[in-house]
């Protein structure tokens, strides 16, 4: 059982305006005036104002959480708008933290919003966490997830974790210091990050926009239960949602008795190795820029341009003269027979990460002169052919 005592003491009172605003909460016996006062007194930090942060922030504000912190250093981009519903067309180019704050003010003027416009790292995370009762982690990369987890353990704070990819989402609650020996942290579920290049990010693999609403709202549901002490939280359970099957299932998470205790923060970029060592070595001295690729075309150099993305990405945008050979066919060696031995190879992907991995495989297979395009097709579209769309 993961019924937990309320995380937050109740505020002294609700004003007449607050009673009117939250009346549908107040008449639920489990929430009531006491629960709403706890929400009013709560300080919740949301890491990221993107896909998961957008619905989470809106519903935390609507629910009457008194203080909301937002950690976000990015700006609003057009590709965000299909899922990041806290931002709008007029916010393009604005800092996401400021756009989110303005949307929250429209939803609920009684909420205090603290902006932390910075990249969370080992030097600042504990200082930021100390002022909050609860953390919601809506980040999309493993380095920040492990950072948030370890900092929450050291700060003795519970946090709600969510992740999304294509049509699937996951949610759980982690709290190393939970009462009655129920303590768990993210490393009991995922002791090690996946190998570099194994799990595509949302920008590489995509995400169905509405999935963010499903997972973000479950995260807020867990936050409300933790703050008010009602119901059973997802502490000790992983909830997996499949939007195509329309199925929710929960998997029990057990504490690993052999897990190393978390005693300090580490270098999370190194721990998660965004790009493998092989790929870094292959790319060193074998990377050309998008403009250098254009020079090769202009000079009519004899080379083969290989696009290592997936077929559906090739349909969105491609560089004229390229051939499509997806990365996995190169990594498996299946595509080697199709590659010319007598012409230099130039690889590219979306941003340069996948092409570096493929480059390492080609170098190992004897294609020593192969190079790749740093920044990929995005760099080509931004620097060389600005008529092309980006994604």
Catalytic center residues: 202, 349
**How many other CB atoms sit within 10 Å of the CB of residue 150?**
24
The residue written with tokens 């690889």 in the block is 347
Q: Is the separation of the CB atoms in 79 and 391 below 8 Å? A: yes
What CA–CA distance (Å, rounded) separates 221 from 60?
A: 9
Q: Is the separation of the CB atoms in 175 and 159 below 8 Å? A: yes
Question: Which phi and psi (to 5°) does residue 383 adopt?
Answer: -110, -30
Q: Regarding beta strands 237-242 and 67-71, do their DSSP bridges make them parallel or antiparallel, or are they unpaired?
A: unpaired
């Amino acid at each position: 059982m993961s019924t937990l005592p309320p995380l937050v003491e109740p505020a002294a009172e609700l004003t007449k305006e607050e009673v009117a605003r939250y009346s549908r909460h107040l008449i639920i016996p489990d929430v009531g005036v006491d629960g709403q006062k706890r929400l009013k007194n709560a300080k919740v930090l949301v890491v990221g104002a993107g896909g998961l942060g957008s619905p989470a922030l809106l519903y935390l504000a609507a629910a009457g959480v008194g203080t909301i912190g937002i950690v976000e250093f990015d700006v609003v981009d057009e590709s965000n708008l299909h899922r990041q519903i806290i931002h709008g067309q007029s916010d393009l180019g604005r800092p996401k933290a400021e756009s989110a704050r303005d949307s929250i003010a429209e939803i609920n003027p009684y909420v205090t919003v603290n902006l932390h416009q910075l990249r969370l790292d080992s030097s600042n995370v504990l200082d930021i966490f100390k002022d909050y009762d609860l953390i919601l982690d809506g980040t999309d990369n493993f380095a920040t997830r492990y950072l948030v987890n370890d900092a929450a353990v050291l700060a003795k704070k519970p946090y709600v974790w969510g992740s999304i990819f294509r049509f699937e989402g996951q949610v759980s609650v982690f709290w190393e210091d939970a009462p009655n020996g129920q303590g768990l942290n993210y490393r009991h579920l995922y002791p090690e990050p996946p190998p570099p290049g194994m799990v595509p990010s949302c920008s590489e693999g995509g995400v169905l926009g509405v999935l963010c609403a499903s997972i973000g709202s479950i995260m807020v549901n867990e936050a409300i239960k933790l703050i008010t002490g009602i119901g059973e939280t997802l502490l000790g359970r992983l909830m997996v949602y499949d939007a195509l099957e329309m199925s929710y299932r929960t998997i029990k998470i057990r504490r690993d008795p052999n897990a190393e205790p978390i005693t300090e923060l580490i270098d999370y970029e190194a721990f998660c190795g965004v790009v493998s060592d092989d790929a870094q070595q292959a790319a060193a001295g074998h990377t050309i820029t998008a403009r250098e690729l254009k020079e090769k075309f202009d000079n009519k150099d004899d080379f083969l341009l290989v696009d290592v993305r997936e077929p559906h990405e090739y349909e969105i945008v491609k560089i004229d003269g390229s051939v499509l050979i997806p990365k996995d066919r190169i990594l498996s060696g299946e595509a080697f027979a199709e590659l010319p031995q007598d012409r230099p190879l130039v690889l590219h992907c979306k941003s340069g990460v996948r092409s570096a991995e493929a480059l390492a495989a080609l170098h190992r297979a004897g294609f020593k002169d192969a190079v790749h395009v740093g920044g990929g097709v995005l760099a080509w579209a931004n620097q060389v052919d600005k008529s092309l769309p980006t994604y």
